[in-house]
């Protein structure tokens, strides 16, 4: 299962082929700049908990290929708008269909399905099914234009730990790494206000 952007149709997040996911911890914890504790985003007053993002990534890990917390959060931001549009166009979906879709996806991947699907996992399934239905409409171009207008009207606040929300692209951009965060093979730069620890030197008395 793959999360990707589809600029051609305007449905910029979709779920596809089977793969694997490496979960990077740390980006999911805490909050900043006034965001409520444990909140990933707020959309028109609707709170998306950080746990909803992490649970979806963890639970659907065997089905994801290259998914990131930002991309999953994008889907969770857009899903209610997309599923409502599908319903308005007469091609709505329900939770029973979403559950069946997930069960078939796990079966196709050859892995055991969880006993209970998380809120985020169900939202991703609804998103995929709604996207498929809208794309199959005879007037899909008009439906996509309607979707873009609805998404542009959303008031979205994203926890800075996830990055920034770009209303023009309707997407969440990953945060830029701070220079004091160590990457593999690199030496960290001290955080602002911190002093680099001096390199230990042997004392004269320690010399034989």
Instruction: Judge whether 189 lies within some domain.
Output: no
Q: Is residue 117 a part of any domain in this protein?
A: yes
C-alpha to C-alpha distance for 156 and 165, rounded to whole angstroms: 7
Residue 72: which residues within 8 A CB-CB, separation 6 or more? 3, 53, 56, 57, 120, 124
Domain count, the chain: 1
- Could you tell me if residue 116 is inside a domain? yes
pLDDT in tens, 89-122: 999 999 999 999 999 999 999 999 999 999 999 9
The answer to whether residue 188 is domain-embedded is no
d(C-alpha 188, C-alpha 24), whole Å? 19
Decide if 21 is inside a domain. yes
Buried-state track 5-19, b at ≥16 Cβ within 10 A, e below 16: eeeeebbbbbbeebe
Query: Is residue 97 domain-resident?
Result: yes
The per-residue pLDDT for range 9-62, each reduced to its tens digit, is: 334 333 332 222 222 222 233 333 444 559 999 999 999 999 999 999 999 888
- What pLDDT was estimated at residue 166? 77
* Other CB atoms within 10 A of residue 90 CB: 8
- What Å distances lie between residue 159 and 33, 104, 156, CA to CA? 8, 33, 10
In a domain, 198, yes or no: no
Please state the pTM of the whole predicted model: 0.69
DSSP 101-168: HHHHHHHHHTSPPPSS--HHHHHHHHHHHHHHHHHTSTTHHHHHHHHHHHHHT--EEE-TTT-EEETT
Q: How many residues does the chain have?
A: 208
pLDDT in tens, 67-89: 889 989 999 999 999 999 999 99
For the chain, the maximum distance between any two Cα atoms, rounded to a whole number of angstroms, is: 87
Q: Which domain holds residue 102?
A: 3-179
Residue 170: per-residue pLDDT:
56
Whether residue 129 is contained in a domain is answered as: yes
156-158 and 164-166 as β-strands: parallel, antiparallel, unpaired? unpaired
């Amino acid at each position: 299962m793959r999360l990707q952007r589809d600029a051609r149709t305007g449905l910029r997040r979709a779920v596809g082929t089977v793969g694997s996911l490496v979960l990077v911890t740390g980006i999911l914890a805490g909050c900043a700049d006034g965001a409520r504790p444990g909140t990933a985003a707020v959309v028109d007053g609707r709170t998306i908990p950080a746990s909803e993002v992490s649970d979806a990534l963890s639970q659907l890990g065997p089905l994801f290929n290259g998914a990131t917390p930002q991309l999953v959060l994008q889907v969770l931001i857009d899903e209610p708008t997309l599923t409502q549009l599908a319903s308005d166009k007469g091609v709505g979906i329900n939770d029973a269909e979403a559950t069946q879709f997930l069960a078939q996806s796990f079966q196709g991947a050859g892995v055991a399905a969880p006993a209970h699907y998380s809120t985020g996992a169900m939202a991703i399934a609804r998103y995929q099914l709604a996207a498929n239905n809208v794309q199959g409409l005879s007037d899909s171009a008009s439906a996509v234009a309607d979707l873009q207008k609805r998404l542009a009207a959303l008031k979205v606040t994203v926890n800075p730990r996830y990055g920034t929300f770009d209303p023009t692209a309707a997407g969440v951009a990953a945060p830029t790494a701070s220079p004091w965060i160590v990457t593999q093979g690199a030496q960290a730069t001290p955080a602002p206000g911190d002093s680099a620890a001096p390199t230990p030197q042997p004392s004269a008395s320690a010399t034989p």
